[in-house]
């Protein structure tokens, strides 16, 4: 069992996914409606699903390898 501090985003692969998603959405045309936000998010997640190496890269940092 590993101890994780109460707030440690650098140790959490989910936070790396969130950062990737935010970066992808921020680099596109501004999303101003819920519909466009949902569509852009689904599109990015589809891209990630087709690229397992990119998802695996979230776990390559030594601080996150405990979860791999």
Domain membership of residue 39 (yes or no) is: yes
Give tens-digit pLDDT for 38-62.
Answer: 999 999 999 999 999 999 888 887 7
Distances (CA, A) of 54 to 9, 25, 27, 31, 32: 18, 16, 18, 24, 27
For the chain, where are the alpha helices, taking DSSP H only? 13-26, 34-49, 52-57
Whether the predicted pLDDT of 68 surpasses 60: no
Considering the chain, what percentage of its residues have pLDDT values greater than 70?
Answer: 87
Domain membership of residue 2 (yes or no) is: no
Domain count, the chain: 1
Domain membership of residue 28 (yes or no) is: yes
CA end-to-end span of the chain: 14
The residue range of the domain holding 58 is 10-67
Please tell me the predicted confidence (pLDDT) of residue 38: 92
Domain membership of residue 57 (yes or no) is: yes
Q: What pTM, to 2 d.p., does this model score?
A: 0.73
Domain membership of residue 19 (yes or no) is: yes
Domain membership of residue 26 (yes or no) is: yes
């Amino acid at each position: 069992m590993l101890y994780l501090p109460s707030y440690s985003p650098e140790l959490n692969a989910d936070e790396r996914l969130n950062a990737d998603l935010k970066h992808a959405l921020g680099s596109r045309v501004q999303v101003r409606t819920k519909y466009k936000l949902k569509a852009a998010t689904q599109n990015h997640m589809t891209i990630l699903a087709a690229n397992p190496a990119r998802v695996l890269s979230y776990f390559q940092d030594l601080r996150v390898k405990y979860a791999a």
